[in-house]
């Protein structure tokens, strides 16, 4: 029930519910990964059940695919869909230009492929994700396991000449083992604290042998939906320059909460 959710979960939920208002019948949708995106998938499933909405989702991770199946969202692969109308996903940080850091959920590679294969990307988040400058959240990069230590050393050497505040890099672990992505790669987190030139950094990182992709999403997000714990929602459109305020009701009998399994 809504009353049992924390303020941060309420903020994620209202952002997700507002974002699915952008979904129209017949759309092919990219389905993001992470706690906020999971709310979106549940809200989408609710619309399918209650309104008969007909959509097809392309999940960005195995766990998103499993959740979509659980709540009744039809899915297919990106190769089957070919091109998407809209991707809705969360973010770890959002700056004033709607540039993003993503990858906290270790799905940045599929997320970036899906987002760039879409006519439009909507990012959903709570207000804490908005920042003046990217970099406080560690920037993930996906690397192949072969020679990962060498790759990390090359990254650290490259960072010396770039506009960042810190250059510490760490391999992301699960217990005592490296985390392995859906593509069987590793994640290295760059603890930069502040990124002065995100566009330059994104381009340079992807030139380093062993780096598959980085978590900087530059010029990809079109709309951001920011939720608050009291139900307030702000929608910012980078293309039109518009900003609108609204509110999403949080009612105790919302059917969406019946889908919660985590």
Helix axes 198-205, 148-159, angle to 10 degrees: 150
Question: Do 231 and 247 contact (CB within 8 A), yes or no?
Answer: yes
Candidate list 111, 213, 243, 245, residue with the active-site label: 111
Whether residue 231 is annotated as binding a ligand: the answer is: no
175 is in an annotated binding site: no
DSSP letter at 24 equals -
Instruction: Determine if residue 196 is labeled as part of a ligand binding site.
Output: no
Tokens (6 digits) for 121: 């990307």
Q: Is 103 labelled as part of a ligand binding site?
A: yes
Query: Any binding-site annotation on 104?
Result: yes
- Return the beta strands (E) in the chain as ranges: 28-31, 56-59, 86-89, 93-94, 100-101, 121-126, 139-143, 168-171, 173-174, 177-178, 186-191, 211-214, 216-217, 223-227, 232-237, 242-247
35 is in an annotated binding site: yes
Cα–Cα distance for residue pair 69/139, rounded to 1 Å: 30
96 is in an annotated binding site: no
The verdict on whether residue 229 carries a ligand-binding annotation is no
- Is residue 193 part of an annotated ligand binding site? no
Q: Is 156 tagged catalytic?
A: no
Q: Does 57 belong to an annotated binding site?
A: no
Residue 165 to residue 137: CA distance in whole angstroms: 13
Dist CA 203 CA 205 (whole Å): 6
Residue stretches of the annotated binding site for substrate: 33-36, 89-92, 102-105, 129
Catalytic residues: 111
Residue stretches of the annotated binding site: 33-36, 89-92, 102-105, 129
């Amino acid at each position: 029930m809504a009353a049992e959710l924390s303020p941060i979960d309420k903020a994620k939920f209202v952002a997700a519910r507002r974002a699915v208002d952008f979904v129209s019948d017949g759309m092919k949708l990219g389905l993001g990964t992470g706690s906020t995106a999971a709310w979106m998938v549940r809200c989408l499933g609710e619309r399918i059940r209650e309104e008969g909405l007909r959509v097809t989702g392309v999940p960005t991770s195995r766990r998103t695919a499993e959740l979509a199946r659980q709540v009744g969202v039809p899915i297919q692969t990106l190769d089957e869909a070919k091109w998407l109308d809209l991707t809705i996903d969360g973010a770890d940080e959002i700056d004033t230009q709607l540039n993003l850091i993503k990858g906290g959920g270790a799905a940045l590679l599929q997320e970036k492929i899906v987002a760039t294969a879409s006519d439009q990307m909507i990012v959903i988040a709570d207000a804490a994700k908005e920042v003046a400058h990217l970099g406080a959240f560690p920037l993930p990069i996906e690397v192949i396991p072969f020679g990962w230590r060498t790759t990390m050393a090359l990254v650290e050497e490259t960072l010396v000449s770039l506009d960042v505040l810190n250059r510490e890099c760490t391999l992301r672990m699960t217990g005592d083992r490296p985390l392995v992505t859906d593509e069987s790669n590793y994640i290295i987190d760059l603890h930069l604290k502040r990124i002065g030139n995100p566009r330059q950094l994104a381009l340079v990182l992807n030139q380093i042998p062993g780096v598959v992709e980085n978590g900087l999403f530059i010029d990809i997000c079109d709309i951001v939906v920011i939720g608050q714990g009291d139900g307030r929602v702000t929608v910012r459109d980078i293309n039109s320059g518009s900003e609108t305020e609204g509110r999403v009701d949080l009612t105790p009998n919302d059917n969406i909460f019946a889908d919660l399994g985590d």
